[in-house]
Amino acid sequence: MKIIVDENIPLGEEAFSEFGEVLLLNGRKINNEICKNADVLIVRSITCINEKLLSGTKIKYIGSATTGTDHVDIEYLAEKGIYFFSAAGCNSFSVSEYVWSAIITIANQQKISLKDMTLGIIGVGNIGSKVARAAEALDFEVIKNDPPLQKLFGSDEYCSLDDALSADIITLHVPLNMTGIDRTFHLIDSDTLDKIKPGAVLINSSRGSVIDNLSLKKRLVNNKNIFAVLDVWENEPQIDVDLLELVNIGTAHVAGYSLEGKVNGTVMVYNDLCKFLNISPLWKPTFPPVENDLVEINEATEIEEALYKIFERAYNINIDNNLLKKSEQLNVYEQPRYFDELRKNYKVRRELNNYIVRFKGKNEAVIKKLEALRLKIQ
């Protein structure tokens, strides 16, 4: 078999070489000519899977080692009998921890107390539900908005979009739907942005076009009275650097880029391909140990202080923010290449369940909250 694998998929060659010849390629450069003689295609979200890519090829299996399917023409694949698998949820803990790092960082920078805060979660699937569980453990009032789940379960657990937009912190975790009753393209536009109250935090780690980037830029230019965190952008990798300059935190589509999140995607596609080929899976990844994994916290430390200290060690989001903001000094031709390089050469980032928190004393209230974030407590 000939297997084309996005070169940014970790352990891709190691995982898929048992099936045949593996060709590692830049995901943006995978094209129809390259796919002509391939049997299997393993991609991430930057490769558009459609008729233009697949026409005249013999590909029968496509695996996407990431969450989301807006880069895939599902109807075309079904029509042609091409099997498709998406590693939904593979990086859900990674994205959830990105959100909390952003919240804690802005709270620390702006001297905002997190007590009695409301958190509006728009999209309560694999990622949004994890953000919600952590928020409830941290004593946030959680406002959930998810029309598809509300229609499915008929539950009063879910509120309106306007209710979610009234929160102190708003975080987006929806797929990109271009049309239909649950359309999310430009879900946050000039009208919805006007409903966000001054001092609120708006976080998007879903898909760039869920927020109308031009409308957000106009809002921040005319009245910069909200805090914005963007991991995803319209027109990636050619992002709007003027908007980048205006947001409080901007990163290069790396929220789901923990080592565990990326390797989970590889494992899920590998196991599914084994099932597709009716063979027993043999490969399992090994993770390196985490260096400097112990965080010591004083007994009297408040939860905000504890979380800030933990995220400084485990995932300091300001490092990614500062790296992307360097693109403001580059010319228009260099910027997209730099954006992709930040993703390709992303540092090793480990999830919170790899870290140990040692208390000098005993603070049961704080310990209980930290355990909800999967931290190990001594």
Q: Residues 253, 343, 349, 350: which is the catalytic one?
A: 253
Q: Residues 44, 71, 173, 207: which is the catalytic one?
A: 207
Q: Is 173 a catalytic residue?
A: no
Q: Residues 44, 71, 97, 236: which is the catalytic one?
A: 236
Q: Is 313 a catalytic residue?
A: no
Q: Is 234 a catalytic residue?
A: no
Burial 340-360 (b: 16+ CB within 10 A, else e): bebbeebeebbbbebbebebe
Active site residues: 207, 236, 253
